[in-house]
Amino acid sequence: MIGQLNKQTVQPFSQTYSLQLCSIADGYYLPYYRQNEYNGSRIFFWRFPLEKEWGELFLSDYLDYTLKKLKANMANILTMTNLSLGGFSVLTTLNGQLHMSVLLIFLAAFVDRFDGAVARKLNIESELGKQLDSMSDIVSFGVAPALLMYQALFREFGAPGAVFTILYIACGAFRLARFNITENNGYFAGLPITAAGVLMTLGYLAIPYLPTQLFMFLALILSFLMVGTFKLKKI
């Protein structure tokens, strides 16, 4: 039973009506007006919905509830989309579809651009969202670009290639952990992992045109920039 209900007989209608009265906040009873046949005034009361109206009421409440939940979780939905794209990028790299992996990383970067903005715009920022965003970023812009470059080039260097790949991922994870426990005040400390991941992925596209040793150097520089303490203003 929703709310505290009381039965009350309402007169002076030509017919006696048994009504279920409740508070206005209880949305399952409808406002209703009837004409007073004695003096012409209107009498207001809450009436129990007709059988044919129940479906509309429950559908309306369900849609309203769904829209509120979507709004409250919109930023997290975008973050999970980012994570999913990063995960698919890893899988496509393992299957040898490196060009598709590049596209998925770029799409993840595009989605990542908006999750924080949506959270601030809708005032739905949360600690869960912050942690989830970091977990997504380490996959999409840490593991995915590093694995892409390892499969495309770094594995040709043997152990040093593997070390540079792991170093890049470790520095990205450190950067995200530091970000989560510090006050940002409109600035990033070190190169954001999203920017590092995009630059690493762009490096893949330049492999046919530049010396291979240069990309090892690129991975090393990006790793150190992510753990650096210099500040970059948020855009």
List the one residue out of 6, 4, 85 whose CA is nearest residue 45: 6
Residues 47 and 90 in one domain: no
Same domain? 53 vs 128? no
**15 vs 119: CA distance, rounded Å:** 55
Q: What CATH code is carried by the domain that includes residue 104? A: 1.20.120.1760
Q: What is the mean pLDDT of residues 83-97?
A: 96
Are 23 and 101 in the same domain? Answer: no
Domain that holds residue 114: 73-233
Rounded CA-CA distance 170/193 in Å is: 11
Which pTM does this prediction carry?
0.70
Residue ranges of alpha helices (H) inside 5-140 are 51-72, 74-94, 98-121, 127-137
> Comparing C-alpha atoms, which of 182, 180, 177, 175 is closest to residue 223?
175
Mean pLDDT confidence for 9-28: 38
* Other CB atoms within 10 Å distance of the CB of residue 76: 19
In a shared domain, residues 31 and 94: no
Do the Cβ atoms of 187 and 234 come closer than 8 Å?
yes
Distance between CA atoms of residues 134 and 2, nearest Å: 41
Residues 116 and 60 in one domain: no
Amino acid (1-letter code) at residue 173:
A
Task: Please tell me the predicted confidence (pLDDT) of residue 129.
Answer: 79
Beta strands 30-35 and 17-21, pairing class: unpaired
Same domain, 107 and 60: no
Total domains present in the chain: 2
Share the mean pLDDT of the chain.
78
Nearest CA to 226 out of 204, 194, 193 is that of 193
Q: Is the pLDDT of residue 7 over 60?
A: no
The 10s digit of each residue's pLDDT in 170-207 is 999 999 998 888 877 777 788 999 999 999 999 999 99
> Is the distance from CB of 88 to CB of 103 less than 8 angstroms?
no
- Based on the domain organization, do 179 and 118 belong to the same domain? yes
Q: How far apart (Å, rounded) are the C-alpha atoms in residues 112 and 106?
A: 10
Residue 1 lies in a domain: no
At 142-180, the pLDDT tens digits run 999 999 999 999 999 999 999 999 999 999 999 999 888
The answer to whether the CB of 226 falls within 8 A of the CB of 175 is yes
